[in-house]
A and B are shown apart, each in its own frame.
Chain A
Amino acid sequence: MEQYSEQLNGIFQALADPTRRAVLARLGRGPASISELARPSGMALPSFMKHIRSLEGSDLIRTRKEGRVRTCVLEKKTFAVVESWLSTQRAIWEGRTDRLEQFVLTAQEKEKK
C-alpha cells in the first residue's frame, strides 16, 4: 500500500504541470517524437526533456529510441491506477494532510519569530 501511495504521489506531481498535461493530451492521439512534442511548448530541448523524464519516471509514458529519433507513447496501465475512485480519494486526503502539515509548521515558525 505504501508503495502504491508513493506511485500515486509521483503521478499527481507529474500531472500538476500544464506542459506535461499538454504532452499527455497530444500522446492521447498517438505516439509522437520528442521534437514534435517540444514544438508547441516553445521550450529549449534541455528544459523540455525534464518534463519528459518526469512523465517517464512516474510511468505515465514510455519512450523508445529508433535511430536518432526518440518516440513517446502513453502508458495505459498507469492511467488505470489514476482512474480508480479510491485513488482519487487518497490523493485528495494526502493533499489535505500535506497542506495541514505545511500550515502547522508555518504557523510555528511565525510564533518563534
Chain B
Amino acid sequence: MIPSPNPGLDLTISRVIRAPRQAVWNAWTDRASFEQWWVPAPAKCRVMEMDLRPGGSFETRISENGGDFAPHLSACFLAVDDLERIVFTNALVGGWRPAEQPFMTAIITLRDHPVGTEYGAHVMHRSNADRNMHEEMGFFDGWGTVIEQLATLAERRA
C-alpha cells in the first residue's frame, strides 16, 4: 500500500541517479558511506546505530564547526526491503518504543531506470503544529542560522 501524498504535510523528491541500484543502496546502507553525505559539510555525521531490519534502531549524531557530536536523528526502521525500499520513522525508536517527539516517516524507494536508478523520498510529517521541532532539525542541517536571519529580517521589514 502506497499512501497518497498530502501536499500540506508531505514532500516527495524523485531523482534519476546514473548508477546501478546496488551502488545507491550501498551508499545508503553502509555506515561509513552514509556518514559522508547525510549532512552538508562542514558538519560531520556519525552513525551510532543502523540496524537494518523492521524495529531496528537508526540513530545519528552531528558535529557542527568541529564541536561535540550532538543527537541528530533518533528513529526506527519500519521496513527494509533489499535494494528496493527503506522506511523509517522518528515516531518510534529502536525496538518499536514510542519516541518523545515524533514528527515524520520517510519512505525511500529505489527503482530501475533505463539510465540507472530512480531514487525517491516521500517524507510525511505529522502537522504544522510541530514546526518548532522541524526548525530545530533544519538548524542541525545547517540552514537554521540562515532561516533565523531571514525571519529576523522579514520581521524588521514588517
Which residues of A are in contact with B by a Cβ distance under 8 Å? 1, 12, 15, 21, 24-25, 27-29, 74, 76, 79-80, 82-83, 85-86, 88-97, 99-105, 107-108
Instruction: Choose one: A15, A83, A92; the contact of B151 (CB below 8 Å).
Output: A83
Determine the distance from Cα of A45 to Cα of B99 in the docked complex, in whole angstroms: 53
Instruction: Choose one: B13, B28, B40, B150; the contact of A82 (CB below 8 Å).
Output: B150
B137–A99 contact, CB under 8 A?
A: no
A83–B24 contact, CB under 8 A?
A: no
A96–B38 contact, CB under 8 A?
A: yes
Residues on A with C-beta less than 8 A from B17 are: 100-101, 104-105
Interface residues in B, total, Cβ within 8 A: 41
A99–B157 contact, CB under 8 A?
A: no
B131–A85 contact, CB under 8 A?
A: yes
B143–A12 contact, CB under 8 A?
A: yes
CB of B86 to closest CB in A, whole Å: 12
Determine the distance from Cα of A24 to Cα of B7 in the docked complex, in whole angstroms: 30
B143–A21 contact, CB under 8 A?
A: no
B138–A85 contact, CB under 8 A?
A: yes
A79–B27 contact, CB under 8 A?
A: no
- A107-B143 contact given A76-B154, A88-B138, CB 8 Å threshold: no
- A25-B134 contact given A86-B125, A96-B38, CB 8 Å threshold: no
Closest 10 CB pairs of A and B: A28-B153, A99-B37, A85-B131, A88-B138, A79-B154, A103-B37, A85-B134, A104-B19, A92-B141, A90-B11
